[in-house]
Amino acid sequence: MSKLPAALRKYAKVIDEISDERSLDQGYWIYLKPGWINTLHDLHQIHEDTLKECVAVLKNFVTECNCNDCKEK
């Protein structure tokens, strides 16, 4: 997805890439930039069915990350 959906623009600084997999019943995959983590699942990505759910995770669970992988990038 080349253009960031309006609902996610506020979080552009932490989003590296978005994959819209709704046509495969897989919702949205958001890959976070190095240095950021989804603490809800301890992953550097978000996978939710809707943009609204993605925004909730971005708002409440994405924080800076200092893991070795992030430090290397």
With 0.85 as the threshold, say if the pTM is over it. Answer: yes
Helix (H/G/I), strand (E/B), else coil: 7: helix
Nearest to 20 by CA among 6, 45, 47, 1: 1
Q: Which amino acid is at 21?
A: E
pLDDT of residue 70: 87
- What pLDDT tens digit does each residue of the chain (73 aa) get? 458 899 999 999 999 999 999 999 999 999 999 999 999 999 999 999 999 999 999 999 999 999 998 888 7
Nearest to 37 by CA among 7, 69, 3, 1: 69
Q: What is the largest CA-CA distance in the chain?
A: 35
